[in-house]
Amino acid sequence: MAGHPNSFGARSILSTDEGPLTYYSLSLLEQAGFSGIDRLPYSIRILLENLLRHENGFLTTSRDIEKMALWAPAGGSAVEVPFMPARVLLQDFTGVPAIVDLAAMRDAAQRLYGEPSKINPLIPSELVIDHSVQVDVYGSSEAVDRNTEFDYHRNSERYAFLRWGQKSFHNFSVVPPATGICHQVNLEYLARGVCVGDSPLGPVAYPDTLVGLDSHTTMINGLGVLGWGVGGIEAEAVMLGRPYYLLTPQVIGFYLEGKPARGTTATDLVLTITQMLRKKGVVGKFVEFFGPGVIELSIEDRATIANMAPEYGATMGFFPIDEKTLQYLRLTGRPDKSLNLVEAYCKTQGLFRTGSSPVPVYSDVVSMDMNTIEPCLAGPKRPQDRVLLKEMKPVFDNVLQESCGVEPRLLQIPATWEHEGGRPSVNEPEADSDASCKIPQRKGVGIIIGGRSMQIDHGAVVIAAITSCTNTSNPSVLIAAGLLAKRAVERGLSVKPWVKTSFAPGSKVPVDYLVSSGLMPYLERLNFYLVAFGCTTCIGNSGPLDDSISKAIKDHDLIVAAVLSGNRNFEGRINPLSRINYLASPPLVVAYAIAGTVDIHFETEPLAMASDGTPVYLKDIWPSPEEIQEMVTTFNTPDRYQRTYAAVFDGDAKWKSLPTPEYSIYPWDTTSTYIKEPPFFQHITQTVPPCRDIQGARVLALLEDSITTDHISPAGAIPVNSPAGQYLISQNIMPPDFNSYGSRRGNHEVMIRGTFANIRLKNRLVPGTDGGWTMWLPDGEKMTIYDASMKYQEKGIPLLVLAGKEYGTGSSRDWAAKGTLLLGIKAVVAESFERIHRSNLICMGVLPLQFKPGDGHSALGLNGTETYQIAGIETNLFPGKELPVIARNPEGSEIRFQVIARLDSPVEVTYYRHGGILNYVLRSMA
């Protein structure tokens, strides 16, 4: 490769059936004096190859290679290395603002140096439209077509913009709507395993790697492909040829032995792993699975486990390539030449794991015997809070007490419906027992659905969704759900009328094998009709509940539940009215839809009564592993994948009819409420402005622990009375056409108003008030966070956010950082940060500051009414620098303390000084 120093003589030739390929040999690097490479974790070997191949003496140096080759399991002082992914994966919620940024950068490039065409992806960048579709229609064979029509009606402008991007940018492809979920499409089709690229020396082979604009990009780790979610801002820089910088990670080995216990699913396994690793503490670390139990897991099982790496806190959950990987590539219809290359390359490079491969040396090891796994769920508000199925009923009692402040056993048993196996109340409530939750006495809350009267109560399941790539990519759990549905229907069972049911798989393949197997009609008999090919309920696009149910919940303050086969259940995420949300396997989703309540003990209480009047228990209809596997083997076949993906980029007539302008520079429409030129680059100069200390700052929000990116920048519905809703009304957009925050991410005017506008946000500056409210200081006037921000900015007052631990957990949501910047927030001071959001803040020029151990706003006695001075930013800013803070309260006394600048590497300091990574990239191109 021209310009490649090849400092360690690692360049070599791999002979293949398709001809010779250049590659960069890890064994030759070992011969050059770096012993023990065959005992490095597989994930570290892939990063090492990446450095070898990209050595150029500038962005990647021989010293970078040495640092990675000498990786120390114990960690020590982590060092920064550049990583050049092979490709970028995008979805439409995060992808639209990324392409908006690239389009705006073309405008800026034209202004700065007259060459807009320099702004172009340099590596394959593939976007799957999956996040926008909503469950408006359900329980009908027409649901999928009608929801798709609604999707195009709401989002045609955004989709037309993406079509423009596909035509205008090189190396940018779009998978149209109604195709699938990005991670499942990636697993089943897009992932290469091993890539072949051009170079001056001819074709070069290298491992498939990626970064994605979604935190669950890690799902592809189950296929042995290294990758994880990053912020949209960082991904844009990678698309433009810049490295993604990371600190050399610790790698936790997760030893698996045994086989999954009978009656359990991959969902039970991943929820147990999530709880274990959250307790262990693996934030910022790689997790790599090994041991004899790994071979017992299918690639789909591994992908389920890898998918939830963000939930257990790891950067990745990696499974090295092995024989099962080749089997899956063959199953999903990949061509033989691709399979042969994956096998030949990985075996040559020591990246193919076999039973005789040396066990890598890990930073630490966690062990699990899969025989000990039990059926479980996770909830009601966090994916790491596992609840054994057999303990759900007493746990719900505790949840109700915590949420409602009443004795749950004095309430009517939830979701009772006459003639469907319900039970009468065991106790009448005390006269004043409804004071907190306002529950009507004696027989719950009456509702009318379809002309029929019934009652619901606390614990009623109002949403049951088979959803999310986490589980719909796995035929074993979908077949299990279908078999359970078949047996339920045969016994005369049905779903309770108050349950909003949906089936939204991550690709068209599951529908194909469920129809062919004859199981789809049984799911439909239980109202689990196909509603969409997209994320839907998993990301909060569950759609509205029946009016009578919504009214009952609001009027009587009911604590109702959603049960879904997704990966996240943060408060307010699934539906604004479902205050408790449980993650579960698809067959359990079906079971809870039949029961209609989470207040049930499945071992001792029947789901419902059969048509002959006999009780039907969950064990009576649960399928055996042998039944499941027989159907998976018979009906999950390569031809289904080949048919599904034969023309995956083409789209339907709706997609092809979208109007797209024929310009290389996007013609912004100033009246658009979906796509607007963002303000980030409009005033950029070629010179870097100096950093300034923060003087006279006010606190805009005083927050507690576990503030998620959903809290900071919600993705769901836009309330009419919110600042974003009022803005849209001022633009003549009526509430039925508001769409969602996620779909409006191409319009900064909506998104800045939606920042910190989650209805469940609790800002301690306004105790007792939920939502996007704050207190204007020094007057103490209560107003929206947006209005206060604008008022502070008019007066030139810089702003801060003070928070607790785990600030920024959840989705890799770049608008959580962009909105923070546009609100005038100069720094976020927290006890700890989640990896992606901390990086995103820096990439937008917002300073993440961390309290020293033992400190925190509560421990220091800060209440948010102080004015703040933070020094040490203007001069000699370096990674981890301690900065002095003075907080002056209204009485004039001072609280002095130190915070740590969470700029963890020199390049992060550089990005911060430039006001963000994209400013840095633009200036670098001049």
365 within some domain: yes
Number of domains forming the structure of the chain: 4
Residue type, 188: E
Residue 640 phi, psi (nearest 5) = -65, -40
Does residue 226 sit in the same domain as residue 367?
yes
The strands making up 204-207's β-sheet, listed across from edge to edge, are 11-16, 19-24, 204-207, 194-197
Does residue 595 sit in the same domain as residue 704?
no
Does residue 391 sit in the same domain as residue 297?
no
> How big is the chain, counted in residues?
926
Percent of the chain with pLDDT over 90: 86
Please write the tens of the pLDDT for every residue from 879-917: 999 999 999 999 999 999 999 999 998 889 999 999 999
Taking each helix axis from N to C terminus, what angle separates 232-239 and 92-113, rounded to the nearest 10 degrees? 50
State which H helix or E strand residue 82 sits in.
strand 80-83
User: What confidence category does residue 812 fall into, taking pLDDT thresholds of 50, 70 and 90?
Assistant: low
pLDDT at 408 over 50: no
At residue 412, the pLDDT reads 37
Q: Is omega for the bond preceding 394 within 30 degrees of 0, making it cis?
A: no
Does residue 95 sit in the same domain as residue 65?
no
Strand positions, DSSP E, 277-429: 286-290, 316-318, 364-369, 376-378, 386-388
Does residue 293 sit in the same domain as residue 346?
yes
Strand positions, DSSP E, 402-499: 445-449, 452-456, 461-467
pLDDT at 415 over 50: no
Residue 807's CB is within 10 A of a number of other CB atoms, namely: 29
Asked if 479 contacts 516 with a C-beta cutoff of 8 angstroms, the reply is no
Distance CA 397, CA 276 (A): 24
pTM metric for this prediction: 0.86
Does residue 516 sit in the same domain as residue 581?
yes
User: What confidence category does residue 113 fall into, taking pLDDT thresholds of 50, 70 and 90?
Assistant: confident
Q: Which residues contact 355 (CB under 8 A, 6 or more apart)?
A: 295
Distance CA 660, CA 753 (A): 29
Residues 427, 430, 433, 434: is their CA dihedral positive or negative?
positive
At residue 404, the pLDDT reads 57
Does residue 354 sit in the same domain as residue 397?
no
CB-count burial class (<10 Å; 0-12, 13-18, 19+) for 556: middle
847 within some domain: yes
At residue 925, the pLDDT reads 83
Residue 23: domain span: 11-71
Residue 870's CB is within 10 A of a number of other CB atoms, namely: 23
Q: Is omega for the bond preceding 380 within 30 degrees of 0, making it cis?
A: yes
Range in 78-87, 419-428, 856-865, 907-916 the model is least confident about: 419-428
At residue 430, the pLDDT reads 36
User: What confidence category does residue 410 fall into, taking pLDDT thresholds of 50, 70 and 90?
Assistant: very low
In the chain, the N- to C-terminal Cα span, in Å, equals 26
Q: Is 314 helix (H, G, I), strand (E, B) or coil?
A: coil
At residue 436, the pLDDT reads 45
135 within some domain: no
Distance CA 257, CA 369 (A): 5
CA atoms within 13 A on the CB side of 561: 32
pLDDT at 435 over 60: no
pLDDT at 429 over 90: no
If you average pLDDT over every residue of the chain, what do you get?
A: 93
Please write the tens of the pLDDT for every residue from 97-110: 999 999 999 999 99
Strand positions, DSSP E, 359-460: 364-369, 376-378, 386-388, 445-449, 452-456
Does residue 385 sit in the same domain as residue 335?
no
756 within some domain: no
Does residue 218 sit in the same domain as residue 332?
yes
Does residue 490 sit in the same domain as residue 570?
yes
Q: What's the mean pLDDT in 4-27?
A: 96
302, 311, 360, 483, 759 from 298: Cα distances, Å: 6, 21, 22, 20, 40
**How distant is the alpha carbon of residue 562 from its chain centre?**
18
State which H helix or E strand residue 900 sits in.
strand 894-901
At residue 204, the pLDDT reads 98
Which two tokens mark 829? 């001071």
Does residue 380 sit in the same domain as residue 400?
yes
DSSP letters for 780-834: TEEEEHHHHHHHHHHTT--EEEE--SSBTBSS--HHHHHHHHHTTEEEEEES-B-
pLDDT at 427 over 50: no
CATH number for 98: 3.30.499.10
Asked if 839 contacts 230 with a C-beta cutoff of 8 angstroms, the reply is yes
Distance CA 704, CA 712 (A): 13
837 within some domain: yes
Asked if 678 contacts 751 with a C-beta cutoff of 8 angstroms, the reply is no
Distance CA 266, CA 554 (A): 36
* Buried b / exposed e along 108-134 (16+ C-beta atoms within 10 A): bbbebeeebebbbbebbbbbbbbbbbb
- Count the helices and strands in the chain (H runs, E runs): 31, 34
Distance CA 503, CA 913 (A): 48
Which stretches of 18-91 are DSSP H helices?
26-31, 42-54, 62-69
Q: Which of 579, 604, 636 is the last residue of a domain?
A: 636
Q: What's the mean pLDDT in 509-513?
A: 98
Q: What's the mean pLDDT in 503-523?
A: 98
CB-count burial class (<10 Å; 0-12, 13-18, 19+) for 78: middle
Which two tokens mark 807? 């600030």
647 within some domain: no
Asked if 618 contacts 607 with a C-beta cutoff of 8 angstroms, the reply is yes
Look at strands 894-901 and 882-888 and give their pairing.
antiparallel
At residue 442, the pLDDT reads 33
Asked if 21 contacts 205 with a C-beta cutoff of 8 angstroms, the reply is yes
**How distant is the alpha carbon of residue 511 from its chain centre?**
24
pLDDT at 156 over 60: yes
151 within some domain: no
Asked if 655 contacts 163 with a C-beta cutoff of 8 angstroms, the reply is yes
439, 443, 601, 738 from 416: Cα distances, Å: 15, 9, 15, 36
Does residue 455 sit in the same domain as residue 553?
yes
Which stretches of 55-142 are DSSP H helices?
62-69, 92-113
Please write the tens of the pLDDT for every residue from 657-698: 999 988 889 999 999 999 999 999 999 999 999 999 999 999
At residue 233, the pLDDT reads 86
pLDDT at 423 over 70: no
Please write the tens of the pLDDT for every residue from 322-354: 999 999 999 999 999 999 999 999 999 999 999
551 within some domain: yes
Residue 72's CB is within 10 A of a number of other CB atoms, namely: 14
Which two tokens mark 112? 């700065």
pLDDT at 400 over 60: yes
